[in-house]
Structure 1
Amino acid sequence: MTNTNLYLPFEVDFKELEQFPKTIRKNNFFELIYVVDGTGIQVINDNTFQYRKGNLFLVTPQDVHSFEITTPTKFFFLRFNEYYIKANSQNGQSETVLRMEYILQNASHRPGCILKNKIDKPLIASLIESIIQEQVNQQIYHQKIIEQIVNTIITIVARNIALKLPKNIKETTGEMVLEILHYIQENIYNPKQLKAEKVSEYFNISLNYLGKYFKKQTGETLQEYIANYKLRLIEARLLNSDMRINEIADELNFSDESHLNKVFRKHKGMNPSEFRKKFCK
């Protein structure tokens, strides 16, 4: 297995390949891979998916991946890490960072195109074509323009992951539930703002309607979704950072480390330290 590193805040690359490098790769960064043209099979964590033009894949640092090319394929690669997102925001708790956290926590580590929102498919194609043209033409400010487009692509990816994860969300899901999910992401570190009364007040809907509407749209109650989202955040801290358990407990507003341990063990069948030891390779 080849471990690859990223030495710049982000990289974009465009290649036409008849054969993908035979080495199975594991990256230390996030990679968005867009199929401009061609067909074949995506292999990720020993699972496979038949890819075609217009597919967009997200590969996380935990994933082992490769491609088996059937017809010559034009790949567009966008590589970045969490530090790129943090460097492009003035506040570590900013909206952009929280969107990135959603990517970190909710990527499925399974094969398949992450574009679930139909209207985003032509938008992504257009944005990637714009990056390719900026790289070819090399006009003034091209690098800054590419950076802005990269930020837009990452935001669109976050939206599609928000569409993907709760069990019953579909491409036709109403705008309000997506706004509620975004509100939860923005306020996950501020539990007072996540009380059902506060959410219903913010969206100007009744408490009773909020509960029924959210459960119907997502398959989970509001509090179940918040609890599961917090668990995904904890998992990401354990897998992608050197934070101590008490630091994670403090950041996510658990009363103390033992409270976090109890909640985590209830859902995962092991305490956070055991989880980190088992899955952090």
Structure 2
Amino acid sequence: MQIEHSGLSFELTIDTTNVWEKQAHKHSFFELVYIKKGKGKQCINHNTIDYKEGNIFFLPPLDCHSFIIEEKTTFVFLKFSDQLFEKSNSYEINTKNWFDDISYILRNYNKTTGNIINDQQDKDKVIKIIELIILENNNRDRFSSVIIQGLIIGLINILMRHIEQNIYRTAKPNNTKFNLIIKHIQNNLFNNEKLKIPFLANKFNVSKTYFSEYFKTNFGSSLNKYILISRLRVVETRLLYSDFTIKQIADEIGFSDTSHLSNVFKKYYQISISDFRKKGEYQLLKNSTLANCSV
């Protein structure tokens, strides 16, 4: 599998073409794809969907994708890395801490394929922001980097609104407090201190003795199980869409060692990590319906 790298913190490409010549590939950066004109099919992680004018797709690092073009298409590719949010000159703002807090969700949100924004008002906003980024990128001066940084921050916050709405669907839609608890857990999934019941109970004004029952009543499973399953979903994405070793994954997710991760994984999936990785990649390839999506 080819992994595309970029040495830049931000890169904008506009491409009008009748034929997609790249093989299916992954990147080491975030990429937003805006279909300005045209139609066809996109393959994301070996799932195939139609695309058309106005669609917006968001691809975290290590998502595999390619296109089959049915009608001449103008693509706008907006690529950025974590470095964009680090202050590199006196005009830029250091937003690294903000991006660190949300990057977990951006990297690991539900990877159901498709147009990420369905609300027309927000879609119009994103398209306007993209057009402003294009305009600023074509007429750069010493202020352009901070202006583009600010525009991308606005764009990401709109994306986060829709990603969080998808997360909230797992909870009761009218329970604002519980939705905020789910959001907090997802934003702090690897921070054990902020996931302890005393911290959560105090932050969300729920009795410590009642919190476990409150969570289970609203979600249908225990807090510990929800956290564990959420972490295992990250393990899944790492096994299927990265070249990380099991030790690297265990260290990142917060398991004490590879044996601990392997035992927990096998308990819940009824298959070893190594077999899951082999079988998972095989199934992804087997389920691909487009020859151009083969890897």
| TM norm. shorter chain > 0.5 | yes
Deviations 1:127-150 (A, max 9, x none): 112101212333441122112222
Query: What is the aligned partner in structure 2 of residue 11 from structure 1?
Result: 11
Aligned in 2, Cα 1:75/1:264: closer, same or farther, shift over 3 Å? same
Query: What is the aligned partner in structure 1 of residue 27 from structure 2?
Result: 28
Aligned in 2, Cα 1:251/1:3: closer, same or farther, shift over 3 Å? closer
Secondary structure of the residue aligned to 1:264 is: helix
Structure 2: how far apart are the matches of 1:278 and 1:201? 44
Code of the residue aligned with 2:270 in structure 1: it is: G
CA shift, 1:91, in A, is: 10
Structure 2: how far apart are the matches of 1:255 and 1:5? 31
| Structure 1: segments with no counterpart, 5+ residues | none
CA shift, 1:73, in A, is: 3.4
Aligned in 2, Cα 1:7/1:91: closer, same or farther, shift over 3 Å? closer
Query: What is the aligned partner in structure 1 of residue 215 from structure 2?
Result: 211
CA shift, 1:99, in A, is: 1.8
CA shift, 1:230, in A, is: 1.0
Contact kept, 8 Å, 2:24 with 2:66, in 1: the verdict is yes
Aligned in 2, Cα 1:183/1:121: closer, same or farther, shift over 3 Å? same
Secondary structure of the residue aligned to 2:14 is: strand
Structure 1: how far apart are the matches of 2:253 and 2:113? 30
CA shift, 1:221, in A, is: 5.1
Code of the residue aligned with 2:182 in structure 1: it is: L
Structure 2: how far apart are the matches of 1:51 and 1:162? 23
Secondary structure of the residue aligned to 1:121 is: helix
Secondary structure of the residue aligned to 2:255 is: coil
Code of the residue aligned with 2:191 in structure 1: it is: N
Secondary structure of the residue aligned to 1:54 is: coil
Moved more, 187-196 or 172-181: 172-181
Say how many residue pairs are matched: 271
Deviations 1:205-225 (A, max 9, x none): 45468426742xxx7654343
Query: What is the aligned partner in structure 1 of residue 76 from structure 2?
Result: 76
| Structure 2: segments with no counterpart, 5+ residues | 88-92, 282-294
Aligned in 2, Cα 1:198/1:5: closer, same or farther, shift over 3 Å? closer
Contact kept, 8 Å, 1:162 with 1:178, in 2: the verdict is no
Q: Which TM-score applies when normalising by structure 1?
A: 0.75
Q: Which TM-score applies when normalising by structure 2?
A: 0.72
Task: State yes or no: 1:96 paired with 2:95.
Answer: no
CA shift, 1:57, in A, is: 0.9
Structure 2: how far apart are the matches of 1:42 and 1:277? 24
Aligned in 2, Cα 1:23/1:259: closer, same or farther, shift over 3 Å? closer
Larger RCO, structures 1/2 (Cα 8 Å, 6+ apart)? 2
Aligned in 2, Cα 1:180/1:255: closer, same or farther, shift over 3 Å? same
Aligned in 2, Cα 1:190/1:38: closer, same or farther, shift over 3 Å? same
Structure 1: how far apart are the matches of 2:236 and 2:130? 31
Moved more, 234-243 or 178-187: 234-243
Deviations 1:31-66 (A, max 9, x none): 210123443332334433232333211234241321
Structure 2: how far apart are the matches of 1:90 and 1:133? 23
Q: Percent identity between the aligned chains?
A: 29
Aligned in 2, Cα 1:50/1:173: closer, same or farther, shift over 3 Å? farther
Secondary structure of the residue aligned to 2:54 is: coil
Structure 2: how far apart are the matches of 1:50 and 1:126? 23
Code of the residue aligned with 1:203 in structure 2: it is: F
Code of the residue aligned with 1:35 in structure 2: it is: I
Contact kept, 8 Å, 2:168 with 2:182, in 1: the verdict is no
CA shift, 1:264, in A, is: 1.2
**What RMSD over aligned residues (CA atoms) do the two structures have, in Å?**
3.7
Task: State yes or no: 1:120 paired with 2:111.
Answer: no
Secondary structure of the residue aligned to 1:11 is: strand
